[in-house]
Chains A and B, each alone.
Chain A
Amino acid sequence: MSFAFTSFVLSVIVSSTPLLLAATGELVAERSGVLNLGVEGMMLIGAVSGFAVMVVTGSPVLAVLAAAVGGMVMALIFAVVSLGFLASQVPTGLALTIFGTGLSALVGSGYVGVAVPRLPKLHVPGLSDIPFVGPVVFGQDALVYLSFAAVVGVWFFLNRSRAGLILRAVGDSHDAAHAIGYPVVRIRYLATLFGGAMAGLGGAYMSLAYNSSWAENMTAGRGWIALALVVFATWRPFWLVVGAYLFGAIMYFSLYVQGVGIPVPSPFVSMLPYLATVLVLVLISRDKTRIRLNAPACLGRPFHAAG
């Protein structure tokens, strides 16, 4: 029984990590006022770049780095179009997702059906062998630890550092931040790139750890869930952990119940995580003050320096 519970928890961690990684990046971008709907596309590019480099070099470190860079390149395209040329962020982000889906399929066509080893897991002699605590706390791969480190880091950055305060100022009132002399566009570029890198890592988790194989469109909508999670968390980093693990558990549990023998129509199972997303968003939106308190006031609004 305890073995079954341990492996259930391990499975949930695996389902949740890509969501948490991608959502953490998007949270920073949104806090700076950039709404990048291209998370799904950036994740896919991250997944395919990480996988390709893993196949070619066999190095997990290089593969993870390549995934982050791949996500950043996609984010850069978004930033140039929407921050540089001031195109509307919503369609630009949507286009980025569609573009990323197609491009990753093209790049990845030669990698379908190739096998690579899974990302190595930490093994601390002694500690990793403790029942439950061992495999759960001391037996994960680097990206799982990174996902938690990133949440703490982002929280510290946003709430305890001067640079984070400036980033939030840019997201809340770009005109005021500009008037004081902060480089609004440059800050948003950096935040967007960070978002891209994290989405890329989320994608790499899919192709290197979740499955250790590449398949077209393998993120299967997780980028959209990550976007919703940022709203779910009302832009607060620690709530992302709650959200990501809640959704990871729902995604996994919807399959688990079938195995127990409960007759659930399989289309309903596929729908469940998204249904949960919609429900949670509706519930959260009822609390208008909390949204208003935390939502970056300039979210999605283009910045004209001249104004």
Chain B
Amino acid sequence: MTMDRRTFNKLLGAGAFAGAAPALIGRAAAAGPVKAAWIYVGPVGDYGYSYQHDQGRKLVEEKLGDKVKTSFVENVPEGADTERVLVELANKGNDIIFATSFGFMNPTVAAAKRFPNVKFEHATGYKRAKNLATYNIRFYEGRFVQGVIAGHLSKSGIIGYVGAVPIPEVIMGVNAFLLGARSVNPKIRSKFILINTWYDPGKEGDAAKAMIDQGADVITQHTDSPAAMQAAANRGVKAFGQATDMIKFAPKDQLTASVDNWGPYYVDRVRMVIDGTWKSTDVWGGFKAKMLEMAPFRNMPDDVAKAAQQTVDDIASGKILPFKGPLKDQSGKERVAAGSSLPDDKIASMDWLVEGVEGKLPS
């Protein structure tokens, strides 16, 4: 129980000290299992975003067996502590470290600089280096499918989106949700509320309730707890789960959920480390790469489920491009011309809302 100052300093300074001598670290020997580590922003038991990453880690253990040794750190705060955790993991001799939250970006860049022999991978970010790769899921494809379902089911013609913060990831989701719905019902409108946090069940639920009070009758959420869906279910309103199949929270009201499937990517990447073929890349996979899957379509008529499945297949085959022209923004300005589709870099930096979304982005 006692901790003297020396132990304490050692804990505090472990990072800085070891960082000064990165040459000593690196991969000690080619023999033995490859060590892979993950850091999560939430608890692995959140049954959401971090949970899905950890499922991926487990798949790596399952597929690669004794060729790999994995570990993880959960509840890592985004900020000054992130780099310390990364450095600690690098010091422990990990060969590859996955930083799984957008907010880990700058600390991961810094850690990658200090440990050139360790491979880093950062999820949902855009900064890369020779030993720092990025990877992400095309979440917006799932939003489009949800929109198609909402378009079929909404009677009021108003659908609602609970988001966290106005970043491109959220904005493309809001847009794709409406575009999916409009592909079925051209008159449908959507509302959105941003609650300025990824995880505050109280607010997530309140935001859903507020939009239901304003007439929305299908709700989707882009926050980490099931609260928005639960709040909707309490009002008898249909909703979508997020990141993982959340059916047990709303057995009668969850329509489906966009399920993040990081596992196959992780298996590939760790295998590349084992084979010595790992390179820094930027992967953005969706239905086609099976990095995104939809939970079973439930609580909806068969023909809607069929239409939803068809949409998934068509997006995977490239027949449907969610951001295909002609697309206008809220001011009526044409953003994508008829016959063309928004290129990836423009999707990734999206900062405008499509016509038909109610509400403005705070400037």
Contacts and interface: CB of A to CB of B under 8 A. Distances in A.
Contact of A11 (B166, B206, B363): B206
16 contacts: A112-B43, A210-B201, A211-B201, A215-B199, A216-B199, A256-B210, A258-B192, A258-B207, A258-B210, A259-B211, A260-B214, A261-B360, A263-B359, A263-B360, A266-B196, A270-B196
Contacts of B271: none
A233 interface: no
Interface of B is mostly: mixed
Interface size class, chain A: 35 or more
Interface of B: 43, 45-48, 51, 160, 164-166, 191-197, 199-203, 205-207, 209-216, 225-227, 230-231, 234-235, 248-249, 358-363
Contacts of A218: 200-202
Contacts of A204: none
A266 B165 contact: yes
Given A211-B227, A261-B358, A112 B46 contact: yes
A259 B205 CA distance: 13
Contacts, number: 125
A8 to B, nearest CB: 5
Interface of A is mostly: helix
Contact of B202 (A220, A262, A268): A220
Contacts of A222: 202
Contacts of B165: 266
B284 to A, nearest CB: 26
Interface string A26-46: 000000000000000000000
A8 B363 CA distance: 28
B195 A255 contact: yes
A266 B227 contact: no
B207 A113 contact: no
B362 A265 contact: yes
Contact of A259 (B191, B226, B360): B191
B214 A251 contact: no
A15 interface: yes
A109 B44 CA distance: 9
Contacts of B192: 258-259
A206 interface: yes
